[in-house]
Structure formats: structure tokens, C-alpha cells
Amino acid sequence: MQVGGRSQTLAEVLARGLLPTALNGDSPQHLANSLEPLPYRAYSISSLPQDGCVHLLVRQARRDDGSLGLASGWLTAYAPVGAEIEMRVRANPNFRLPGDDRPLILIGNGTGLAGLRSHLKGRALAGHLRNWLIFGERNADRDFYYREEIEDWQARDVLERVDLAFSRDQATRMYVQHRLHMAADTVRAWLATGAALYVCGSIVGMAPGVEAALTHIIGPKALERLAAEGRYRRDVY
């Protein structure tokens, strides 16, 4: 059949479209013409080119009825091992590592750890060891992604400091912005030595909470100056 000006099989068309909830006896060509394309999904890459493959950290989304999300369901449950999955790499120049060995404070939650992991791998490869990770999730026993790797980085001094905020592991909710407040003096000290801030993760809750905490710690003008200098960078979604 012809779709988009080129010949495709029905299987190829169905793989790229939102499937209808019911079929009304439509012909394959009419069905192909009526399908809406699958929505775009973006994931932070958690690996380096030197790894020889792309690593993603994907949270399996579930709808209210228990069904899986389109992209996360396919990636985590439905796609067979070895299946071909169409992707494209989109550059994010605003979230690149600095070219020097300045200290980094890396802040994130949930799957935002992916973008921070790739930066930590790059820092380890370059031998830049002044790195501080502030990471938050729900439960340490289920949601401490890359735990062994992070603990290994601590043991090898790739990570000078790690602060964790597992919100559901105590009666009072604990988030990364709370960890920032608790370490305010150390944040100011690192920034005074030229440290840069990298924030990756949820645009709802975490990112504004972190920005509010940083504003409280160093003031709005200082935070604006860091952003202008390229020392406050975000990859939030």
C-alpha cells in the first residue's frame, strides 16, 4: 500500500501509528490513511559513545486502567530482545559538560539520573574528580538506579559527595531540594570555587523546587549570573 508517498507493508504502517480501539470493516488502505502517527518520546541518554551502545533509563508508565504507556510499555515489556527500534539523537548543547575540571554539583530525580550518569561517566573518563551528586527517588530498595556504579564511583573518589533523598523511606517526605537546603553552606563553598550546577529530571515539582532552594541559598541575582555564565544548566521535562 502507498502511505506518505512510498510503498509500505501493513505491518510497517501499524508499527508507526496509534491503533484504533475498534475496527469498522475498513480496508487496509483506508485504515493506513486514517492512523495518527505515534507521539514523539524523548529520553536522556545515560551512556557515552565509548560504551558502544545507547543506554536509556525508562520508567514503565501505567495508566489508571493498568495498561502500559505507549513508549515505555513497548520498550520495557513488548519489544522482543533484538528488535529494531527507530530512534534519532537530538543534541542538547545547553547540557554539555564543561571542557575543564571545574567542580560539578549534579542534581536530579527519577529517570533524570540518566543524564547525570552520562556526565559522571565522562568526568570519570577525563579524571575530573570533584563531583557531587544529589539524587532523589521514592524508595531506596526499589528505585536506587545504578546503585553499584554510584557506590563504586564513591569508592574510587569519582564522586566526592553523594546526598540521597528517598521520599517514601521516612514519615516526613524528603526531596532533593531539602538536601540542598541542608547543605546550603557547602553549596555556597563549592560555587565559590567555580562549581557548575547541572539539574536533570522532572519539570514538575523537582526543577522549580531546586530553583527555589538555590534562590534561597545564593539569591536570585547570583543564580541569574550563574545561568549567564553557563554554570547553571538544566535538562528538565
What are the residue boundaries of the structural domains of the chain, listed by start? Answer: 1-38, 93-236
Tens digit of each residue's pLDDT (9 = 90 or more) over 94-118: 999 999 999 999 999 999 999 999 9
How high is the pLDDT of residue 31? 75
**Cα 234 from Cα 168, distance rounded (Å):** 25
Look over the chain and give the mean of its residue pLDDT values, rounded to a whole number: 92
- Centroid of chain to Cα 86: 19
Of 25-34, 118-127, 187-196, the poorest mean pLDDT is in: 25-34
Largest CA distance in the chain: 69
Burial class (CB in 10 A: 0-12, 13-18, 19+), 228: exposed
How high is the pLDDT of residue 1? 65
Q: Torsion angle, CA of 88/94/98/103, rounded to 10 degrees?
A: -120
Tens digit of each residue's pLDDT (9 = 90 or more) over 181-202: 999 999 999 999 999 999 999 9
Mean pLDDT, residues 31-35 taken together: 77
CATH class of this structure's domain 93-236: alpha beta
Read off the pTM: 0.88
How many Cβ atoms sit within 10 Å of the Cβ of residue 157? Answer: 11
Q: Considering only residues 133 and 86, tell me which one the structure prediction assigns the higher pLDDT.
A: 133
Tens digit of each residue's pLDDT (9 = 90 or more) over 148-191: 999 999 999 999 999 999 999 999 999 999 999 999 999 999 99
How high is the pLDDT of residue 129? 95
